[in-house]
């Protein structure tokens, strides 16, 4: 089982890989929360591709919102004689296609053109499903002398992960000797590997004043005016309270951004009695998101006292991030060297503000690394995956399996 022979076989599989991505994308895989029927048909199709494994286990989880839908998770393994498994984690589900008029080719009718496959879920996360299957494909059963090879192809990544990776982690499918690679974020050329994520907090500020006619502001309390002044002050104070820059992260500092707001009044000559705005905050893992929420509430109380408006501050969403994954261990070195040997140089090690399945592993105390090649088109109309990336990612994963399993 020489690595060069395996890599040659992967290179020769370009057309088969393209055909498999195409067949898979034809099966819609949208969760009930987004108005879909789940990933069942796509999971059946993908299972057809999983030949010659020691075991292929399907873990169906009843959907929490629509009990008539089962959310399928697939765990395929080639057993090694040593402890632990090298897992590649990919997900079956997609977001909605969005505005169909924006799609030049139909989202569920994959189209191969100019070295790309266009279709919904091709890059996110079809590329990872098929590249990981072909990475494992040419390793013979009974010949792995170290760790096992594992593919976890999961449901429910785009909404909650509760019926996907979180369920599998809680159900004990993974262990301390396992290695986790999550190809669900990447940059062109595959030149970055993600080892850390920021905490995510959404805070809503609701300001109640008193509505009145535009000509008599003294008779009311302009909630929009209070809101605007308060917003400037809150941004300033939060940025001062969380000043640290960590060069691991892109961007290096915590970020505090006003995003959603509401329409106020329907006409120009009414002073609005109510306003609300939201902040999207990505906090470096060294800080505590609960402290931030408490501080935002303090600022709300201060502004309430200062202006006489009633101000309610609430955390709409709070996702804690696990500690950054270890980059000194031999398993990370093996991944780093595998990427380097296929793409020609070692990737930069970064932290990001977005969230992936890897965070669930980090929260459970495991190291997890996020890497793939791409990052150009996910969650957009005319999503595509580059055939070169499909093949090259499979070679990286095969190299990693060879280092850690043979
Ligand atoms: Zn994804």
pLDDT means per 10 residues, the chain with 406 residues, are 96 98 97 95 98 97 96 98 98 95 96 97 97 98 97 95 97 98 96 96 97 97 98 97 96 96 93 97 96 98 98 93 96 98 96 90 97 89 97 98 98
Ligand 1 centre to CA of 94 (Å) is 7
Domain boundaries, the chain: 3-197+321-405, 199-316
Q: Are 148 and 10 in contact (CB under 8 A)?
A: no
Q: Are 104 and 16 in contact (CB under 8 A)?
A: no
Ligand 1 centre to CA of 91 (Å) is 7
- Label residue 374 left, alpha or beta by phi (over 0 means left) and psi (-120 to 50 means alpha): left
Q: What is the pLDDT of residue 356?
A: 86
Q: What is the pLDDT of residue 28?
A: 97
Ligand 1 centre to CA of 122 (Å) is 10
Q: What is the dihedral of CA 24, 27, 29, 34, to 10 degrees?
A: 150
Residue carrying the six token digits 């969230």:
355
Query: Which of the residues 93, 123, 166, 393 is marked catalytic?
Result: 93
Bridge partner list, 38: 30
Q: What is the pLDDT of residue 133?
A: 98
Q: What is the pLDDT of residue 355?
A: 82
157 counts as catalytic: yes
Q: What whole-number distance in Å separates Cα of residue 23 and Cα of residue 21?
A: 6
Q: What is the pLDDT of residue 230?
A: 98
Q: What whole-number distance in Å separates Cα of residue 159 and Cα of residue 222?
A: 37
Burial of 328 (0-12, 13-18, 19+ CB in 10 A): exposed
Q: Are 381 and 208 in contact (CB under 8 A)?
A: no
Query: Which of the residues 39, 63, 156, 157 is marked catalytic?
Result: 157
Ligand 1 centre to CA of 374 (Å) is 12
Q: What whole-number distance in Å separates Cα of residue 262 and Cα of residue 277?
A: 7
Q: What is the CA radius of gyration of the chain?
A: 24
Q: What is the pLDDT of residue 375?
A: 77
Q: What whole-number distance in Å separates Cα of residue 358 and Cα of residue 376?
A: 20
Q: Provide the b/e sequence for 201-217 (b: ≥16 CB within 10 Å).
A: bbbbbbbbbbbbeeeee
Q: What whole-number distance in Å separates Cα of residue 337 and Cα of residue 58?
A: 32
Assigned CATH topology for domain 199-316: Alpha-Beta Plaits (3.30.70)
Q: Are 78 and 146 in contact (CB under 8 A)?
A: no
Q: What is the pLDDT of residue 317?
A: 85
Q: What whole-number distance in Å separates Cα of residue 279 and Cα of residue 273?
A: 21
The values of phi and psi at residue 191, to 5°, are -90, 5
Ligand 1 centre to CA of 158 (Å) is 7
Q: How many CA atoms lie within 13 A of 180 on its CB side?
A: 30
What six digits make up the tokens of 96?
């909605």
Nearest partner of 405 among 188, 80, 51, 176, judged by Cα: 80
Q: Give the CA angle between residues 314, 315, 321 to the nearest 5°.
A: 165
May I ask the CATH architecture of the domain 3-197+321-405? 3-Layer(aba) Sandwich (3.40)
Instruction: Count CB-CB contacts under 10 A for residue 145.
Output: 10
Nearest partner of 357 among 136, 161, 84, 135, judged by Cα: 161
304 counts as catalytic: no
Q: How would you classify the pairing of strands 85-91 and 148-154?
A: parallel
Ligand 1 centre to CA of 327 (Å) is 23
């Amino acid at each position: 089982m020489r690595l060069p022979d395996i890599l040659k076989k992967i290179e020769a599989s370009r057309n088969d890989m393209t055909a498999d991505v195409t067949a898979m994308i034809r099966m819609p895989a949208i969760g009930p929360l987004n108005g879909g029927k789940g990933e069942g048909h796509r999971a059946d199709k993908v299972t057809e591709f999983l030949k010659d494994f020691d075991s292929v286990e399907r873990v169906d989880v009843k959907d929490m919102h629509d009990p008539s839908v089962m959310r399928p998770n697939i765990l395929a393994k080639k057993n090694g004689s040593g402890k632990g498994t090298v897992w590649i984690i990919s997900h079956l589900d997609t977001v909605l296609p969005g505005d169909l008029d924006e799609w030049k080719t139909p989202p569920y009718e994959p189209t191969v053109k100019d070295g790309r496959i266009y279709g919904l879920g091709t890059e996110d996360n079809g590329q990872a499903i098929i590249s990981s299957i072909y990475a494992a494909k040419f390793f013979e059963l009974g010949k792995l002398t170290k760790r096992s090879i594992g593919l976890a192809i999961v449901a429910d990544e785009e909404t909650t992960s509760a019926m996907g990776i979180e369920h599998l982690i809680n159900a004990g499918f993974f262990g301390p000797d396992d290695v986790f690679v999550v190809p669900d974020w990447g940059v062109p050329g595959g030149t970055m590997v993600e080892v850390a994520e920021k905490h995510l907090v959404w805070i809503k500020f609701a300001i109640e004043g008193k509505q009145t006619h535009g000509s008599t502001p003294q008779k009311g309390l302009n909630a929009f005016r209070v809101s605007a002044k308060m917003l400037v002050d809150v941004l300033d104070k939060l940025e001062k309270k969380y000043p640290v820059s960590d060069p691991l992260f892109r961007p290096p500092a915590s970020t505090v951004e006003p995003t959603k707001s509401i329409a106020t009044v329907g006409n120009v000559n009414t002073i609005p009695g109510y306003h609300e705005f939201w902040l999207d905050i990505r906090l470096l893992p060294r800080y505590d998101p609960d402290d931030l929420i408490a501080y935002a509430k303090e600022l709300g109380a201060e502004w309430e006292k200062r202006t006489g408006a009633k101000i309610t501050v609430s955390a709409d969403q709070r996702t804690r991030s696990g500690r950054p994954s270890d980059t000194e261990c031999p398993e990370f070195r093996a991944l780093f060297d595998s990427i380097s040997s296929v793409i020609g140089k070692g990737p930069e090690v970064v932290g990001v503000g977005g969230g992936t399945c890897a965070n669930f592993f980090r929260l459970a105390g495991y190291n997890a690394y996020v890497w793939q090649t791409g990052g150009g088109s996910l969650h957009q109309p005319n999503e595509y995956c580059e055939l070169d990336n499909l093949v090259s990612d499979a070679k990286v994963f095969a190299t990693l399996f060879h280092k850690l399993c043979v």
